[in-house]
Amino acid sequence: MTELVKIREVSTKYNVSARALRYYEDMGLIKSTRSSDYAYRLYDKQALKRLEQILILRRLNISIKDIQLIFQASGTETVLDVLGKKVNEIDGEVALLQDLKDIILEFIEQIRQADFSRNDDIKKLYEKAANVENHIANVSNSQNSLSINHLLDVTDKLKKAPEVRIIQINPFKAFTSGADMIENVMGPFQQWQEDHNNLVKKMIYGAPDFLWFEEDGKAVWIWAVEEWVTEKDTAPYKLIEFEGGLYAAAMSIDGNDDMGGRVCSGIMKWLENSGFELDDRPGHRTMGHMVNPTDEIRNALGYDQMDIYVPIKIRGKNR
């Protein structure tokens, strides 16, 4: 009998979120199975091999749409074509970075020679700065590798820091999965919502949903609801009062870095040089929110988007 691995074990082994695994399956990249004595997703050796291929290709910055094309092809021609195009992109980025370097060096020299009492000199510097800004806007991440270990090292170094924005979340009423193992949250809780779809559409307030992890490996999923909703409507799931607060937010693409682990690290690094600090009071957690929850939007984009929210407060302030 083929050995089957539980979704939680796969998530831990490959450092990929259960949500990302479900996303890859929804996009037709991997397949799970169910057994008669276990209600949740299980993966065989073939699925795990395919997952390893996906994770390597994503590290090479290959899009989900291109990965779909690669897996649908019968030979190596498609993957060679995709990787060849990626090499051309990298060559273009290397050339662009060299141009950017030359511009910055020229800019430095002009600053040394500039007379800041002359308006003409200031205008030239402003135009040069605008030119540099335009070049920076066109520079994207580049990844290349000769080995998997080198690949991991290079991609981690070249990934840009996330663009952080400050979000004020107001308090709201929500119904919650409660703290449970991730497969119970993504399984029964989601199934309950699908089974009560018409009621959920009436209950949901602005459709904000958040997911966070507890220290014991459990997860919590909440949905904001209208004030008229009672626990009779949401049974067996309970209602809570979400406190809200101030959050530093940034986007994680595909949600495949373990609930935005890289993005969380980027936000924490950003906090070091900001006027804010981590808010570690009880009830204030790092959370994930899917920006585009519908399959139609996700398929049009070719990837998933997850906003990561880190609770913060003004530095030195108790609340």
pLDDT at 134: 56
Q: pLDDT tens, 57-70? A: 888 888 888 899 99
Q: Helix, strand or coil for residue 101?
A: helix
Q: pLDDT tens, 278-290? A: 998 888 889 988 8
The neighbour count for residue 251, using CB atoms within 10 Å, is: 16
Where do the domains of the chain lie, and which CATH numbers do they carry?
165-314 (3.20.80.10)
Confirm if 191 and 140 have CB atoms less than 8 A apart: no
Report the distance separating Cα 307 and Cα 207, nearest Å.
14
Q: pLDDT tens, 174-220? A: 999 999 887 888 888 888 888 888 888 888 876 678 998 887 778 89
Beta bridge partners of 165: 249
Confirm if 247 and 167 have CB atoms less than 8 A apart: yes
**Which string of DSSP letters, residue by residue, matches 119-137?**
HHHHHHHHHHHHHHHHHHH
| 120: confidence class by pLDDT, cuts 50, 70, 90 | low
pLDDT at 156: 62
The neighbour count for residue 84, using CB atoms within 10 Å, is: 10
Q: Largest alpha-carbon pair distance within the chain?
A: 82
Q: State pTM to two decimals.
A: 0.58
- Residue 303: which region, alpha, beta or left (left: phi > 0; alpha: psi -120 to 50)? beta
The whole-angstrom distance between residue 252's C-alpha and the CA centroid of its chain comes to 2
pLDDT at 132: 55
Residue among 245, 241, 243, 244 at smallest CA distance from 173: 241
Confirm if 138 and 242 have CB atoms less than 8 A apart: no
Residue with more model confidence, 118 or 147: 118
Residue with tokens 């919590």: 220
